[in-house]
Structure 1
């Protein structure tokens, strides 16, 4: 199946090569807005700031 055969995940219109996997910059921007506005989320509890800091420090030591 080609990209053109799959619809835009936002509005279900045909995709365009310039904006794949979306049909337009509008739908691409709507998707980005969902990510920034916590519209999409990975299930699980929120990470504590101390856990994030420990991972950053551990990553620098590698």
Structure 2
């Protein structure tokens, strides 16, 4: 069975954060027709905090408009 977009976003957040994971989160958050979109968008601050823990990742994520 396919995971919901919310479950996918939560799994991305639970794993070590990478630029690829941030791109995947952006893709998940772009599906505004999803019934769980509010919960998905609420995770944005958690991704921001997680990315800010790594200066290099944070700088590159900001440069690529991923956060």
TM-score (norm 2): 0.29
If you compute each CA radius of gyration, which structure gives the higher value, 1 or 2?
1
Instruction: Kindly indicate which of the two structures has a greater share of residues assigned to helix.
Output: 2
**Greater RCO (Cα-Cα under 8 Å, separation 6 or more):** 2
TM-score (norm 1): 0.31
